[in-house]
């Protein structure tokens, strides 16, 4: 039997139809088996003939200008039985002359036709199984390559963030499925200064991961000997340009912080411009420079700024700003800037932005590129006055009745105003009001005999408020990001904002539950105020 393997060849990208090994199974002991190795060109008229005349072909009687037919004839083939499945020619059974040297009878023809009818679907199934095996092997190979790329990246990313007095540092890295070439790094200098790097290699997978590893090593080596970010990028570029594969390059932002005085010196090799949160708004940290690895002899503009207490810097990669929503709109730089402007806490910025990204992209988003976020915030010093007033909690009990959350807001205003600036006090009041409403309605079912208990604790670096109702039992609800599009389209109730609001108003939210009580705990940090 000869199988036409064009089927595979379509899959593997080869053009020719190939006639493979021949076997009759199981053969009687006296049968002679010839392996016929024959390529049939896709343009050979035999193929067209067979496709239009599905019956058995007598090779000697067929007049066709066909190289394949000639080869068959020379090999002593007398009959060719096409195997057709679902209208597609998938193989040929080739027979030589009968051992008895008599002509094939009409019974033989009928038997062969029946055999072809049975064999064709079986052969087709075998082909499909084989194709699936090949595809599975290909998928496994790609998956393996991705694993290697992820491993390289994870091995080289810092395991911890720098711990610096009066500074908060956070780092987040989420690879896309195909693993882009993002990386970040921290370099500790002997004089106490700290280098911050965020970079993005073009391309994805193993090639990007290898270039990332090289770049990281070159940056570290250059930083050991050179003092300024511009010089480090210049040196790295000059070495990398000789090593990097063609059409690949690396964008990189490199800053050196002096934690003692807040001075930040930086240079940028074509990377997305980092943002700086200030009391006056969000500003860019611009510096001119070409990406690394494109051209030798580049120089990199260097700039310096001083971060004031409360200010923070966000270094990021394009995976965030270039994320798309289902309408193919981009998350974009203006949105990032607006979101930063309303978020004063560098430590929680990451969670806030990821929540916003999640809302923007919707639940079915497949991450398009790596997302990297690194924040660096100068903390505000804590005054001793605040600490000394920590004499145990202030308490209030509020009867459960509609509108009484305003009592809770008033109480927060009276007791927390000393510790929080205006903007953050408003946030806390809103969060406490929402939590109190939930407690009165869902926990105490507006039973006037069941008050909501509020306690306010002032600790060294934070204000903590707990709101407790008498609705114990299983967890009532968890904070989910409301789907505004669905609400506006009338597909969801317009309600469901309470817990989401609470979570976005405060620095931390925790829920505690036992059989009798439900407590929501709200925390505001005292170290990242915006203005005194």
Partner 1 sequence: MAEKTAAFQAETTWEGETAVLNLHGEINSQADAALDAAYSTAEQANPPKIVLNFAGVDYINSTGIALIVGLLARARAAHRPIAATGLSEHYREIFTITRLSDFMEIQ
Task: Work out whether 404 is an interface residue with partner 1 (CB under 8 A).
Answer: yes
Q: Which is nearer to partner 1, 258 or 441 (CB)?
A: 441
Q: What are phi and psi of 175, to 5 degrees?
A: -70, 150
Place of tokens 């070159």: 218
Task: Work out whether 437 is an interface residue with partner 1 (CB under 8 A).
Answer: yes
What is the SS3 assignment for 528? coil
Q: Which is nearer to partner 1, 101 or 327 (CB)?
A: 327
Task: Work out whether 338 is an interface residue with partner 1 (CB under 8 A).
Answer: yes
**DSSP secondary structure string for all residues of 358-374:** HHHH-TTPPP-S-EEEE
- Judge residue 169's burial from the number of C-beta atoms within 10 Å of its C-beta, 0-12 exposed, 13-18 middle, 19 or more buried: buried
- The alpha-helical segments, DSSP class H, found in 157-267 are 205-225, 229-243
Site for partner 1 (CB under 8 A): which residue of 177, 395, 423, 445? Answer: 423
Task: Work out whether 482 is an interface residue with partner 1 (CB under 8 A).
Answer: yes
Task: Work out whether 334 is an interface residue with partner 1 (CB under 8 A).
Answer: no
**Least distance (Å) between residue 139 CB and partner 1:** 38
**Least distance (Å) between residue 442 CB and partner 1:** 12
Spatial neighbors of 473 by CB under 8 A, at least 6 apart, are 513, 515, 518
What does the per-residue mask of binding to partner 1 show for 348-377, with x meaning CB under 8 A? -----------x------------------
Task: Work out whether 484 is an interface residue with partner 1 (CB under 8 A).
Answer: yes
Q: Which is nearer to partner 1, 142 or 486 (CB)?
A: 486
Q: Which is nearer to partner 1, 234 or 405 (CB)?
A: 405
Q: What are phi and psi of 331, to 5 degrees?
A: -55, -50
Q: How far apart are CA 376 and CA 103, in angstroms?
A: 91
Site for partner 1 (CB under 8 A): which residue of 407, 462, 479, 509? Answer: 407
CB atoms within 10 A of CB 386: 17
Mode of pairing for the β-strands spanning 275-278 and 194-201: unpaired
Query: Any idea what DSSP says for residue 443?
Result: I
Residue pair 508/479 in contact by the 8 Å Cβ criterion: no
Residue pair 275/336 in contact by the 8 Å Cβ criterion: yes
Number of residues that bind partner 1 (CB under 8 A): 35
Task: Work out whether 278 is an interface residue with partner 1 (CB under 8 A).
Answer: no
Task: Work out whether 500 is an interface residue with partner 1 (CB under 8 A).
Answer: yes
**Least distance (Å) between residue 120 CB and partner 1:** 58
Q: Which is nearer to partner 1, 249 or 331 (CB)?
A: 331
Q: Which stretch binds partner 1 (CB under 8 A): 81-89, 128-136, 208-216, 425-433?
A: 425-433
Write a three-state SS string for 260-301: CCCEEEEEEECCCCCEEEECCEEEECCCCCCCECCCCCCCCC
Nearest Cα to Cα of residue 83 among 29, 20, 142, 11: 20
Q: Which is nearer to partner 1, 166 or 485 (CB)?
A: 485
Q: Which stretch binds partner 1 (CB under 8 A): 196-204, 255-263, 283-291, 433-441?
A: 433-441
Site for partner 1 (CB under 8 A): which residue of 489, 514, 515, 532? Answer: 489
| Binding site residues, partner 1, CB under 8 A | 338-339, 342, 359, 399, 401-407, 423, 426-427, 430, 433-434, 437, 448, 482, 484, 487-490, 493-498, 500-501, 504
């Amino acid at each position: 039997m000869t199988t036409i393997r064009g089927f595979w060849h379509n899959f593997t990208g080869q053009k020719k139809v190939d006639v493979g090994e021949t076997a009759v199974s199981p053969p009687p002991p006296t049968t002679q088996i010839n392996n016929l190795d024959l390529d049939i060109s896709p343009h050979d008229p035999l193929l067209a003939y067979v496709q239009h005349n599905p019956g058995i072909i007598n090779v000697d009687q067929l007049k066709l200008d066909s190289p394949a037919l000639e080869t068959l004839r020379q090999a002593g083939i007398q009959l060719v039985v096409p195997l057709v499945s679902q209208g597609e020619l998938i193989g040929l059974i080739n027979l030589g002359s009968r051992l008895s040297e008599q002509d094939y009878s009409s019974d033989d023809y009928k038997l062969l036709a029946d055999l072809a009818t049975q064999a064709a679907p079986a052969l087709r199934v075998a082909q499909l199984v084989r194709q699936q095996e090949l595809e599975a092997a290909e998928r496994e190979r790609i998956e393996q390559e991705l694993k290697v790329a992820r491993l390289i990246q994870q091995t080289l990313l810092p395991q911890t963030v720098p711990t610096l007095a009066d500074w908060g540092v956070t780092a987040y890295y989420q690879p896309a499925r195909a693993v882009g070439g993002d990386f970040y790094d921290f370099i500790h200098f002997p004089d106490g200064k700290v280098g911050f790097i965020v970079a993005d290699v073009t391309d994805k997978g193993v090639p990007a991961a290898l270039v990332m590893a090289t770049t990281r090593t070159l940056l570290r080596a250059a930083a050991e000997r050179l003092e300024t970010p511009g010089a480090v990028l210049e040196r790295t570029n000059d070495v990398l340009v000789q090593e990097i594969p063609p059409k690949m390059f690396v964008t990189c932002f490199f800053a050196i912080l002096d934690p003692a005085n807040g001075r930040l010196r930086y240079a940028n090799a074509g990377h997305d411009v980092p943002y700086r949160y200030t009391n006056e708004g969000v500003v860019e940290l611009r510096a001119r420079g070409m990406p690394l690895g494109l051209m030798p002899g580049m120089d990199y503009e260097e700039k310096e700024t001083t971060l004031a207490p409360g200010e923070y810097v966000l270094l990021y990669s394009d995976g965030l700003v270039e994320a798309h929503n289902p309408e193919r709109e981009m998350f974009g730089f203006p949105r990032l800037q607006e979101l930063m402007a309303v978020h004063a806490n560098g430590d929680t910025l990451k969670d806030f932005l990821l929540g916003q990204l999640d809302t923007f992209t919707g639940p079915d988003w497949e991450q398009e590129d790596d997302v990297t976020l690194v924040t660096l915030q100068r903390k505000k010093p804590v005054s001793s006055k605040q600490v000394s007033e920590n004499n145990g909690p202030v308490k209030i009990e509020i009867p459960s009745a509609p509108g009484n959350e305003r009592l809770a807001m008033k109480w927060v205003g009276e007791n927390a105003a000393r510790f929080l600036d205006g903007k953050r006090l408003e946030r806390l009041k809103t969060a406490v009001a929402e939590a109190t409403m939930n407690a009165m309605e869902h926990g105490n079912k507006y039973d006037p005999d069941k008050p909501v208990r509020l306690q306010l604790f002032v600790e060294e670096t934070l204000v903590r408020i707990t709101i407790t109702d008498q609705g114990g039992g299983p967890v009532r609800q968890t904070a989910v990001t409301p789907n505004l599009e669905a609400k506006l389209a009338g597909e969801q109730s317009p309600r469901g904002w309470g817990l989401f609001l609470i979570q976005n108003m405060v620095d931390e939210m925790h829920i505690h539950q036992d059989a009798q009580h439900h407590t929501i705990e709200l925390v505001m940090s005292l170290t990242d105020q915006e203005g005194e």
